[in-house]
Each structure stands twice: as C-alpha cells, then as structure tokens.
C-alpha cells in the first residue's frame, strides 16, 4: 500500500504515545489516570523524558488538558507545566472556553485536525508531534491519514470500564509492529501506521 500524501510536514511525525490498561482503557469513566499513578513510575518517567526530547509540539483534547490542569493544580502552580512540557506549544482541541495555564503556550482550537495540521507542523519546527490523548482525537488523526506511530505502554492494571484506547477500526493492514520491550512492570509496543485510511 502507498503512504497517505504528506506535504512539507514529511519530517514531522505525529506520534500517539500513551499508557493503557491491559484491557485497553486510557482513563477511568471519570477521565482520571489515578489507576496509572499507583504503579512505580521510575522506569516510565525516564522513558518519557527521552521521548520528549524529540517532541516540538503537544496535541490533546479538552478532557486530557483539564485532568492534567486540575491534577497538577496548574492554575495556582503554573511552573509545574514548564517542568514537564517545557516551552513547547500545546494545541488543545475543544469546543468549550477553558482557563489557560498562566505563561504556557496553549492554543485552543476547534474543527478538523487536518485544518490545523499546517500550524501544528510550523510550531513543531522540524521535530515530532506528541498526541497526548484522548483516544477519539487520536482517531481523528488516523482518519485524516496524519497519524504516523502509536507507542502504547501497557500497565499491569485492568478496569471494568473507562475511556477506550483508540475507538477506531484499524486492522493488520494498517499497523506494522516495529518495537517490543519491557520497561519495569510495563510492556511497550510500537506500531507504524501504513497505508491509506479507507474512504467512508
């Protein structure tokens, strides 16, 4: 299969880098990641630090942004945003008015992901784009042929219900396994997206 057409953004990859429960949930029904934070994070934290060195821009949905903002109390402690995300621009896809973390380069946008892709690429400045979540936003990137890689760190946890990892149909013809490794109690799988998305 041929690859989806890409523009000057060929050097910029969109990567969905995330943690998941064993049974495929990103968050619990309340959009919380508390299930993940109970697991020792030493190995995972060092891996994330290495990954973010390649990242120029973050992209996330409103629920992800709100959870991080509230969990880290970022409106009162905006310096915590810089400690993790640094000076990187963050595009938040939302249809609501959300409070902005003071001093952070956060760009609230709405509409189709392809419409904002040129601005995302420009802000990335030759580096990669980290799609933080949630799953439906990642699915929109896949629908548009703009998702290049999925890196899933499976945690030794299951949930009875929650927010699905990636609510889309992607079969084996679209996913090429390129990496498998253990990181402490976690198992990491890396897939490259291949081929064109099916026309609706």
pTM metric for this prediction: 0.89
Q: Which residue has the tokens 């400045």?
A: 125
pLDDT at position 9: 46
**Which two tokens mark 73?**
């109390």
Six token digits for residue 155:
């945690």
Q: Give me the architecture of the 13-193 domain, per CATH.
A: 3-Layer(aba) Sandwich (3.40)
Distant-in-sequence contacts of 82-87, Cβ < 8 A, 24+ apart:
85/58, 86/52
pLDDT of residue 3: 45
| Intra-chain end-to-end CA distance of the chain, in Å | 18
Parallel/antiparallel/unpaired status of strands 55-61 and 89-93: parallel
Q: Where are the domains of the chain?
A: 13-193
Give the integer Cα–Cα distance in Å for 63 and 162.
Answer: 13
State how far Cα 154 lies from the chain centre.
15
R_g of the chain computed on alpha carbons: 16
Residues of the chain short of pLDDT 50, as ranges, are 1-9
């Amino acid at each position: 299969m041929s690859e989806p057409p890409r523009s000057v953004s060929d050097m910029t990859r969109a990567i969905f880098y995330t943690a998941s429960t064993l049974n495929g949930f990103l968050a619990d029904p309340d959009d919380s990641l508390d299930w993940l934070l109970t697991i020792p994070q030493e190995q995972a934290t060092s891996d994330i630090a290495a990954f973010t060195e390649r990242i120029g821009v973050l992209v996330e949905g409103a629920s992800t942004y709100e959870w991080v903002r509230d969990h880290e109390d970022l409106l009162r402690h905006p310096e915590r945003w810089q400690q993790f995300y640094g000076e990187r621009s963050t595009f938040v896809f939302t249809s609501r008015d959300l409070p902005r973390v003071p001093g952070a380069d956060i760009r609230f946008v709405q509409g189709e992901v392809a419409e904002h892709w040129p601005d995302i690429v420009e802000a990335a400045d030759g580096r990669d784009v980290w799609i933080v979540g949630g799953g439906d936003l990642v699915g929109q990137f896949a629908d548009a042929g703009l998702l290049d890689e999925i890196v899933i760190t499976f945690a030794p946890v299951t949930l009875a219900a929650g927010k699905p990892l990636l609510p889309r149909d992607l079969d084996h013809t679209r996913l090429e396994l390129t990496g498998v490794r253990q990181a402490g109690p976690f198992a990491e799988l890396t897939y490259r997206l291949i081929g064109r998305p099916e026309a609706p």
